[in-house]
Structure 1
Amino acid sequence: MSKLVMHFSAKTLTSSTMAPHNMLTTRTARLAARLFRETLCFRCQRRLVSSSYPPTLTIGSQTYPTDSWTNTPSSILAAIPRKLHLQDSHPLALTRSLIESRFPRYTSHTTLPAVVTTHQNFDSLSFPPNHPGRSPSDTYYINSSTVLRTHTSAHQADLFRASNSPFLIAADVYRRDAIDRSHYPVFHQIEGAHTWSMSSSSIAEIRAETEAIPAPPVRIEVEDTNPPFHAQRNPLQAQHDPELTTAMAAHLKRSLEGLIGTVFARAPRPASQANEPIKARWVEAYFPFTSPSWELEVLYQGSWLEILGCGIVQHSILDGAGAGDRAGWAFGLGLERVAMLLFGIPDIRLFWSTDERFLGQFRGLGMEGAWPRFEAFSKYPACYKDVAFWVAEHTGSTAGGGGAGPAPSATTAGFHENDVMELVRGVGGNIVEDVRLVDEFRHPKTGRRSLCYRINYRSLERTLTNEEVNGLHEGVRRELVEKLGVELR
């Protein structure tokens, strides 16, 4: 599911201080506003389509034809074999193993292919044809019917179809996004799902399973003031029996409370709080693919952190997978944000580092014993460069992927900020730490729009020379003109 709540783990690790009863209204309004803005952009969206793409792309052992939808650069393709969540003693692999340890009966899928069809990524989850998540501004297209998965849920329907067994999916996922210390175009998610027969006999089975879930290794105080479902705020699905949904919700919450206890038992806390219980709360939420839905927040270092999202799977998804006689729950979270919290890793780029000063700090770690906090090596100086340009704004049709027709050229379609991010990342790679819009204005006479972005060039491993940075920045300026059709100022 996309960063517009395509998936439970889409959010970055943020704090929230709102009262629980206000949070759903605020988030729903924020989501509606974001969807409206993104839909407007979607209508005029450009794609970074280059004639430099070869007729075919080979990814692993498979070869795919390219077309006017192809927008996946070689730098992203090169990340596919890395599989950080499977590398021995890597912080992401350790975090994955820690989460998996709470679900010993679940089948764990960790090697599912990154390339999926638009049907798997969107249609199987009932994405409408004009959903912003289908836009090439958000998604890496191999061709009009094939993408790099934007969420682990792309495999959900296939697994529901294949087996009734509960499962976990851990995988690398791909999204065009902003550039800063908490966003990267390749990141990792883990999700889980459990289903039961919709027969009345399942209720006793679910309750017995709930009672058998092991207690977490630390005490947890959980605030849960809302009912299992609510007609307006968090509705029960028409196909579901209220008692069955109540039983599934209790099983889901007990499972995830245990997960939170396991994770935060390893999170560093002041000695004065070592024996205090972990405080958590359930908050009603909205996700398009579950209902009712919730977020689980944890009070950590004085702030409420949104850790994961979950809910009762929409019956249409199970029905479409040939499992319409079953009901169940699903949850999802991001591995990077949990690992950053557990290990104190300040920059998401570090997970991709091959520097021994980073990797050596975690070598030999396992599920036994304490995990050390990351010790930063010398921070190298930043170099800031600004680039300002006039935007050529035109409109064009960009219906979602899946054989929707040819993509417009880069210089005739509308402007989207993710195009700038992708272009800068393509030129500077991991040397670019941050890109921010620092100025925007519209000329009062001509109506033309001017944007100014500030790029922070900083290597994690060495001091950059002026010549290097100037060369990279000149490359960014040149690409902006050639690929986005802007006029430099």
Structure 2
Amino acid sequence: MLSIIQRSKINYLIAKYSTVPNANKYPNEIEILKQKYITDEWTNISPKIIEKLGKNLHTVKNHPLNHVRQRITNYFHSFKNKCGNPIFSIFDNINPIVNVKQNFDSLLTPKNHPSRSKNDCYYINHEMLLRAHTTAHSAELISMGLDNFLVCGDVYRRDEIDATHYPVFHQMDGVVVRTREEVFKNVNDNEMLKLFDHMGKESDEKQAIHTLEAVKIMEHELKSYLVGLAQILFGKDVKYRWVEESFPFTHPSWELEVFFNDKWMELLGSGILKQEILNQCGVSDKIGWAFGIGLDRIAMCLYNIPDIRLFWSTDSGFLSQFEFSDPNTAVKYKPISIYPQCANDMSFWLPDNQNYSSNDFYDIVREIGGDIIEQITLIDEFVHPKTKRTSHCYRIIYRHMERNLTQKEVTSIHNKIRETIASELNVTLRS
């Protein structure tokens, strides 16, 4: 399975900008969460996505995502200061609408990074978008003087469509910032130890500005906290491993993987915060580490939930299975019923100017079909030997989570999708 960064790079190479024109699609002004925004050529947020705003599934009583959030929160609340109070502050209701500076610039994301593309994010206009990660709030909270905090919330990304991907999912990010005294408090005769080396050089092990001893202590603390989290979620005997990674806002960086259901699974990403971020936040005398974890994937594993769309179900047959107060309760989801799939293929010639992105196609399918779209797969790609035109054939799987679909219903939706992509994506339909 491609990582988010790998998919972002592929999408960026396909098209730097969305090919769905703004003209005649959006009014000059749209209202989101009781706030009005001016639209422009960057606007690509759809009504279906706007409908999800404010749902906050991670705080809904007895929802599986809430149970996972509570388990993680309880773990971090177990760390207390000398007065017996939890050292971590929790923020789980921050507005998901952010500006470009919050989502990208504050985290040192390069201006040409593919994650900024309209193919990857839901933009309200060129200045505002729906957060693509809860990390978007880290710099602001650090600037406010917070040293230990967690941020949990819904995040939004344009993505492929299948049982494990959805344009809205839920994350929790954590940040820890330490002073020199806090870092070296357990080291004897530490008067000569420093956080920073202004003559240092960057390596795989550290940033240029940091001393190796400071980074190693922070790395040990980070990994101790996060292995403990993995054990809280998957049991004390869980097998785990650390994999070196690369993220725009941390260095060095690691992913924590756990062995689950006979295979290695990525659990979270983490690393030592780039010192430039802390400097911009006014805490240039401190060093920090951070992590980010997805709630949806964990809930799917813990509760054996087969399809990510189920989190949005209002069927009592689903929700009633999670009506318990102890978030550590071990349950496995029992399917209410298995409704049959309806599979329809759709093929078309891509526009001659090559300005086509599959994410634009996915968005249109999702906007028209909603949550009855289970999966979209590119099953054939063909280049005509004479005209050199490219044809794509997609298989769209329709399945309702709560009832049978009729072929008449599916055909009506399928035809509407055909009409819309022909007019909005400038493709030529084949079948």
Deviations 1:338-395 (A, max 9, x none): 0001100000000000001100111133236x32110011110100001100000426
Task: Describe how 1:60-209 pairs up with structure 2 within 5 A.
Answer: 60-104=33-77, 105-197=87-179, 199=180, 201-205=181-185
Task: Provide the C-alpha distance between the structure 2 equivalents of 1:75 and 1:97, rounded to a whole number of angstroms.
Answer: 28
Q: How is 1:62-461 mapped onto 2 (pairs within 5 angstroms)?
A: 62-104=35-77, 105-197=87-179, 199=180, 201-205=181-185, 234-265=204-235, 277-367=237-327, 370-394=329-353, 414-461=355-402
Once residues 114 and 207 of structure 1 are traced to their aligned partners in structure 2, the CA distance between those partners, rounded to angstroms, is 41
**Alignment match, 2:84:** none
- Residue 278 (structure 1) shift: 2.0
Relative to structure 1, the CA distance from residue 80 to residue 479 in structure 2 (aligned partners, 3 Å threshold; closer, same or farther) is same
Judged with a 3 Å threshold, the aligned counterparts in structure 2 of structure 1 residues 154 and 44 are, in CA distance, closer, same or farther, namely: closer
For each residue in 1:80-110, what CA deviation from the matched residue of structure 2 results, as whole angstroms up to 9, or x when unmatched? 0110000001000000000111111210000
The code of the aligned residue for 2:13 comes to: L
**Aligned-partner residue type, residue 286 of structure 2:** R
Distance 2:9 2:130 in 1: 25
- Secondary structure of the 1:103 match is helix
Q: CA deviation at 1:45?
A: 4.5
Q: TM-score, normalised by structure 1?
A: 0.80
Distance change >3 Å, CA 148–CA 390, structure 1 → 2: same
How high is the sequence identity, in percent, across the aligned residues? Answer: 42
- For residues 207 and 336 of structure 1, what CA distance do their matches in structure 2 show? 40
How far apart are the structure 2 equivalents of 1:290 and 1:340?
28
Native 8 Å contact 2:16 2:118 kept in 1: no
Counterpart residue identity of residue 274, structure 2: Q
User: CA shift at 1:4, angstroms?
Assistant: 4.0
Alpha-carbon distance in 2 for matches of 1:48, 1:334: 32
Deviates more, 1:379-388 or 1:50-59: 50-59
Runs (5+) with no aligned partner, structure 1: 6-30, 209-229, 266-275, 396-413
Indicate the residue corresponding to 1:469 in structure 2: 410
- SS of aligned partner of 2:332: coil
Q: Please give the alpha-carbon distance, in whole angstroms, between the structure 2 residues aligned to 1:44 and 1:59.
A: 23
Q: Distance in 1 between matches of 2:28 and 2:186?
A: 52
Say whether the 8 Å CA contact 2:121–2:158 is kept in structure 1.
yes
Cα drift, residue 55 of structure 1: 2.0
Give the Cα–Cα distance (whole angstroms) in 1 for the partners of residues 3 and 39 of structure 2.
Answer: 26
3-state SS in 1 of match to 2:61: coil
Paired residues, what number? 408
**8 A contact 2:15–2:356 mirrored in 1:** no
Which amino acid counterpart does residue 252 of structure 1 have in structure 2? Answer: L
Give the Cα–Cα distance (whole angstroms) in 2 for the partners of residues 207 and 166 of structure 1: 22
Query: Alpha-carbon deviations, 1:174-197, whole Å to 9, x = none?
Result: 011001000000000011010012
Larger relative CO (CA 8 A, sep 6+): 1 or 2? 1
Q: What TM-score results when the alignment is normalised by the length of structure 2?
A: 0.90
Contact 2:90 2:151 in 1 (8 A): yes
State the alpha-carbon separation in 1 of the partners of residues 307 and 21 from structure 2.
27
CA contact 2:231–2:237 (8 Å) conserved in 1: no
